[in-house]
Structure 1
């Protein structure tokens, strides 16, 4: 309130100074110069007002945000950023006694609270909801950031049904479970729902079937939710990061032996062990070539939470990748499928399979 009063006083002072200036100009230079000056100043003031509106909410005092997956990576960094901006942060962590959670609790302000929150457990979500409701600031729960997720890679046939279920339960149903539980609070504050997806939600890359399935389902849920919640003035945004493996350490490291041991005898007759070794090396090197800093993602999340008109989607890739995806989405399926034949791993794979 003090900041608002200060802004109002400065505006009145500026207007009084402007009137005095215009009177002086009129006395010395005449009415035409006054009209021109008033018109020019009016345009400048209008531009300033529009600029202020475009900035949106720069501080989060008396507003709360719940973030899932704050043990490390995007969630951890976002919790620290929002805390520094004055938000009341509820940082959901899979391991509330882990290093990331303990660091947040130690280095964060009194507004930051670490929660035990496994998004696959109904009981964890229920207890988190009770704790959040009992500790909401004056303006309530402004937003939920569904960030918790896991990543994995592998040929479609290398994964068991349990692997697919685990991926979907965390990346997809975990977000749905959390969203539904906290939607009444966000709807009451006319706030924001943010979902962390991936480029693999629309880019059907080889060896990413399970992960793509979970993220594509997540975006379908978020898209439907955005249309429904628009009636309540709640905005929904999807974050689509590219390769931020080095920045988040989300990638799963597996040895060739671990992959080989998991296959049954039938699949061992189809997939060459040498191919598995090459594919594993290719995947790890690709992950290591990604962004080493997650600032781009955190800035997009902050914009989605604070801008008056946030984007429905934030595609966070390099300039070259952005150009590629812009063209890729317009191509027919027969061509987009053929794109993968350009990859050297594709030809090595075909040569090594026991066809």
Structure 2
């Protein structure tokens, strides 16, 4: 019996050692084969370049010598026109509404007709919108609109361009958010869209590994001030859309207070888009891009890394630390 146990231990140890050696060998091999060639001769497609992160990334990649296909919702708008004025002839504006099958297919044809020698290196799925309101202040159309852009827009674009990226063994990048895993009052529709986006990206990463394509997820924290993603609305805008039953629950005073609290929290975020743009650049150009780029303040980093491992009753309790939650409970049903 002792001999049997000893043999079993030896076999177990040997098996673990073999697995470790195999994994290390694969990592080393991957490292040797993942050298990104010089940017000249490669193209990158970016969605949502009218403003924000996509706009800045398009300019950065243009300066690095990539042929940039900058997808813009409004090609004649100020954002697209400023890109044309400030960039080289290697940057090309595409009319691209990611919710439109026709736009995506037309963009694909344009890209194929204008690809440089080395092909399409990366697709950066950056187009997105925000929506803030408690779930009962929202409609199914609110959820559908956010998901159609943030989630299905990225899926639609990815499926269309994957054959080109696969041919170059390139990259696919998704701009998500910390709210894909961190629940927050007033961001239900946005969180749903981003959590779905990360699920899609995770599945795609596993599938694309066989083809040498790398998939990265960018997870920005509060960068509202650095972009124009936050669409301003007043408490009155929300109140007027509520039916009589909900007006009895969510009184006008609370809605005004919640609106002020949310806008105040947004203005406390990063004012500079560079941390996110630099992460996007790394995901596109690094020889070893990360699977995820968590972009929060230094003080928040430990908390967000720990958050996923905490039991639900603790993570839910964390929200009670916010003053708005205590106020909310007191004011609900108040006349």
TM-score, shorter chain, exceeding 0.5: yes
Q: In the aligned structure 2, how far is the partner of 1:66 from the partner of 1:293?
A: 23
Match of 2:110 in 1: 131
Q: Are 1:64 and 1:89, in contact at CA under 8 Å, matched by a contact in 2?
A: yes
Counterpart for residue 123 of structure 2: 144
Structure 2 partner of 1:77 = 56
| 3-state SS of 1:239 partner | strand
List per-residue Cα deviations over 1:239-281 (Å, max 9, x = no partner): 0000000001211210111000011111001101111111100
The answer to whether the 8 Å contact 1:57/1:308 transfers is: yes
* Aligned-partner SS, 2:151: helix
**Is this contact kept in 2: 1:156–1:207, CA < 8 A?**
yes
CA distance in 1, matches of 2:240, 2:38: 52
Greater shift in the superposed pair: 123-132 or 58-67: 58-67
Of 303-312 and 173-182, more deviation after overlay is shown by: 303-312
Partner of 1:223: 202
- Give 1:58 shift: 7.9
Paired residues of 2:219 and 2:295 also in contact (CA < 8 A): yes
- Does residue 270 in structure 1 map to residue 249 in structure 2? yes
Q: CA deviation at 1:327?
A: 2.3
Is 1:295 matched with 2:274? yes
Q: Which residue does the alignment assign to 2:24?
A: none
Partner residue of 1:170 out of 149, 155, 169: 149
Q: Give secondary structure in 2 for the equivalent of 1:230.
A: helix
1:38-73 Cα offsets, whole Å, 9 max, x none, are xxxxxxxxxxxxxx9899548410000000000000
2:44–2:68 contact (8 Å) kept in structure 1: yes
Separation in structure 2 between the aligned mates of residue 151 and residue 234 of structure 1, nearest angstrom: 29
Do the aligned partners of residues 58 and 133 (structure 1) sit closer, same or farther apart at CA in structure 2, a change above 3 Å counting?
A: closer
* Correspondence 1:303-314 to 2 at 5 A: 303-314=282-293
Aligned equivalent of 1:182 = 161
SS in 1 for 2:249: coil
Partner of 1:202: 181
| Alpha carbons of structure 1 residues 81 and 55: separation in structure 2 relative to 1, 3 Å | farther
Does the residue aligned with 1:136 lie in a helix, a strand or coil?
Answer: coil
CA distance, structure 2, for counterparts of residue 188 and residue 54 of structure 1: 15
The TM-score normalised by the length of structure 1 is: 0.84
**Runs (5+) with no aligned partner, structure 2:** 1-30
Q: Distance in 2 between matches of 1:328 and 1:79?
A: 33
Moved over 3 A (4+): 52-59
Q: Is the contact made by 1:270 and 1:353 (CA closer than 8 Å) also made in structure 2?
A: yes
How many residues align? The count is: 304
Stretch deviating more after TM superposition (54-63 or 67-76): 54-63
Structure 1: tracts of 5 or more residues without a match: 1-51
Deviations 1:78-135 (A, max 9, x none): 0000000000000000111100001111211010000000000011001100100000
Deviation sequence 1:139-184 (CA, Å, 0-9, x none): 0000000000001111111110100000000000000000000000
User: Structure 1's 338 and 177: CA in aligned 2 closer, same or farther, altered over 3 A?
Assistant: same
Q: 1:110 aligns with which of 84, 89, 112?
A: 89
1:348 to 2:327 alignment: yes
The verdict on how the C-alpha distance between 1:55 and 1:183 changes in structure 2, with shifts beyond 3 A counting, is: closer
Match of 2:19 in 1: none
Match of 2:40 among 41, 61, 69: 61
Counterpart selection for 2:172 from 181, 193, 212: 193
CA-based RMSD of the aligned residues comes to 1.5
Equivalent of 2:311 in 332, 338, 343:
332
CA distance in 2, matches of 1:325, 1:132: 38
- Secondary structure at the residue paired with 2:172? strand
How far does residue 324 in structure 1 lie from its aligned partner after superposition? 1.2
Match of 1:234 among 213, 222, 225: 213
